[in-house]
Amino acid sequence: MPLLMIDLDNTLVDRDAAFREAAAAFLAEHALPAGDLARLLALDASGYTPRREVAGAMTDRYGPAVPVSAVRRFLDHGAAERVTLPESTRRALGRARADGWTCVIVTNGRVAQQETKIRNTGLDGLVHGWVVSEAIGHRKPAPEAFEAAAAIVGASLDGAWVIGDSPHADIRGAIGIDARSVWVSGGRPWTETAYRPTQTATDAASAIDHVTGRAPGYGTNSISG
């Protein structure tokens, strides 16, 4: 069965929207300036800033006004408990499975957070498995992350596809295992010059449908040379 490896944050689920909602609630709960929302979003950097650094910066800024435990609770559970799965993506995954694709989530991050997202959104019933970088000791774009994903479902990387929003973690990672890829652009332009995805799509549902041949005009959205 063909293997489809899909990123979680800002690909299958809108992690940034969930973090924004959680951050706004955190500021309101602790009577902090609403204007700090932009500061928290910049500090978070779509989840790429290490949690320890974010926690330290927040503790330094808010000091005794906000308990350290509240900061930890916000970072550990705020976004994870608010993410939702778009119905279009849910349907696309269902179609992929019905067509015989083996679908595995490959995500960087901590197990507790990422598995909360996967289970709360029902993704655990839509994919054949998942790997989280913390659990396997390797982060995308390391080939070991994708090799682990193939191993947990007993699949081969031959003919595999990778879908994700990160040029570095997902698209470069796909190149490292000689897999084809779809970059989920979210409307952003491609700016890397050293490498390119096989195809591009605006969202995860469109990306999945491109890979499985379900999308109208399949194959016409390539930006590879």
For residues 153 and 193, state if they share a domain. yes
Number of structural domains in the chain? 2
Whether 128 and 204 share a structural domain: yes
Q: Which residue has the higher pLDDT, 224 or 3?
A: 3
Instruction: Tell me if 138 is assigned to some domain.
Output: yes
Task: Write down the pLDDT at residue 214.
Answer: 74
Taking 60 as the threshold, does the pLDDT of residue 103 lie above it?
yes
C-alpha closest to that of 15 among 208, 204, 201, 175: 204
CA dihedral 157, 105, 203, 177 (to 10 degrees): -30
CATH number at residue 92: 3.40.50.1000
Do residues 95 and 135 both lie within one domain?
yes
152 and 123 in a common domain: yes
Residues 100 and 156 in one domain: yes
- Does residue 218 lie in a domain region? no
pLDDT above 70 covers a percentage of the chain that reads: 95
Domain range spanning residue 59?
Answer: 15-78
What ranges make up the beta strands (E) of the chain?
A: 3-6, 102-107, 129-132, 161-164, 180-184, 199-201
Asked if residue 57 belongs to a domain, the reply is yes
pLDDT tens, residue by residue, 166-191: 999 999 999 999 999 999 999 999 99
Q: Are residues 8 and 19 in the same domain?
A: no
pLDDT at site 113? 92
Q: Are 201 and 183 in contact (CB under 8 A)?
A: yes
- What pLDDT does residue 215 have? 64
Find all residues with CB under 8 Å of 67, minimum gap 6, and list them: none
pLDDT tens for residues 22-42?
Answer: 999 999 999 999 999 999 999
pTM comes to 0.91
Distance, in Å, from the CA atom of 217 to the CA atom of 188, rounded to the nearest integer, reads 21
Same domain for 19 and 109, yes or no, is no
In this structure, the answer to whether residues 52 and 130 fall within a common structural domain is no
Does residue 26 form part of some domain?
yes
* Average pLDDT score over the chain: 94
- Give a yes or no: residue 223 inside a domain: no
* Domain end point (choices 28, 49, 78): 78
